[in-house]
Amino acid sequence: MVKRQKKNWVVPIGAVPTDFDLKILSYQDKGFIVPQNNLIKTPEQIEGIRQAGIVNTGILDMLTTEIREGMTTGDIDRLVAQYTADHGAISACLDYEGFPKSCCTSINEVVCHGIPSDEEELFDGDIINVDVTTIKDGYYADASRMFMIGNVDPKVKRLVEVTKECLEIGIQTAKPWTFVGEIGKAIGRHAHANGYTVVRELAGHGTGNAFHEEPTVDHYDTRHKGMLLVPGMVLTIEPMLNMGERHVFIDEADGWTVVTEDELPSAQWEHTLLITETGVEILTH
């Protein structure tokens, strides 16, 4: 028995299908996974997400001038919270499923979801990822950057650089009328060619009207095409590369912090992207 693919794209009864509808339906009729109608953002929604992206980028730009040796991750969180409030926005992280802070701060072997603390200080040679998601007028933008503190070991610095290259390669791969699986394939190829592993337990995702939407954006080759990328979709790409093995665990003490099993360094970079007719627009520079 042939298992039929769920029909995500629907033309309302009585409506005349547009060329856009017909193109998506042609993929759906061949059995490919296509987006649901509500994943295609309207011009008004895109502009709202773009404005959220401006605030989100502003936060990370501000941190670029502020992060330094000797400050705590609690200091970083207060800077994020103040900037967010000053610009009429809300942190999506704060109180999300119980998360207690306005951003995630992940140092060295912490892969992601580190909780800011006044007890956690930055030292010379540390690398830290700060992940910020901003809600502005009901729209979401999500991005993270790596920051290197003082004299970082060249091998660790290279990990940070290659992870950023993987993000850039993922962005270049995310073309309209291709499939989301191509993104992970391209990222994984570059990561492995440089001697790094890719975390598989966490992924990018659709966003914009909610914190997390479809599709899931894996950063390794799943051997599946995944969802069709269509103009108007908004998603994040956020590769996490490890210097050692790919395996991770969640710290039982807080239920959030994801750490490399071998306690070797990890790095992550993230952008929110709009799929356009010709490529992508980066909404979180």
Structural domains of the chain sorted by starting position, each given as residue range(s) with its CATH number in brackets:
25-282 (3.90.230.10)
Judge if pTM exceeds 0.85. yes
pLDDT of residue 87: 98
Contact (CB, 8 A) for 103 and 91: yes
Q: Give the C-alpha separation, 170 to 166, whole Å.
A: 6
For residue 235, the SS3 value is strand
One-letter amino acid at 148 equals M
Helices (H) and strands (E) in the chain, counts: 5, 15
pLDDT of residue 53: 98
Contact (CB, 8 A) for 258 and 202: yes
pLDDT of residue 174: 98
Distances (CA, A) of 5 to 32, 33, 98, 221, 227: 7, 7, 35, 22, 12
pLDDT of residue 5: 53
pLDDT of residue 285: 80
User: Tens-digit pLDDT profile for the chain (285 aa)?
Assistant: 334 456 799 998 889 999 999 999 999 999 999 999 999 999 999 999 999 999 999 999 999 999 999 999 999 999 999 999 999 999 999 999 999 999 999 999 999 999 999 999 999 999 999 999 999 999 999 999 999 999 999 999 999 999 999 999 999 999 999 999 999 999 999 999 999 999 999 999 999 999 999 999 999 999 999 999 999 999 999 999 999 999 999 999 999 999 999 999 999 999 999 999 999 999 998
Q: Give the C-alpha separation, 160 to 170, whole Å.
A: 16
How far, rounded to the nearest angstrom, does the alpha carbon of residue 282 sit from its chain's CA centroid? 12
Q: Which of 237, 234, 245 is nearest to 268 (CA)?
A: 237
Tokens describing residue 112? 């992601």
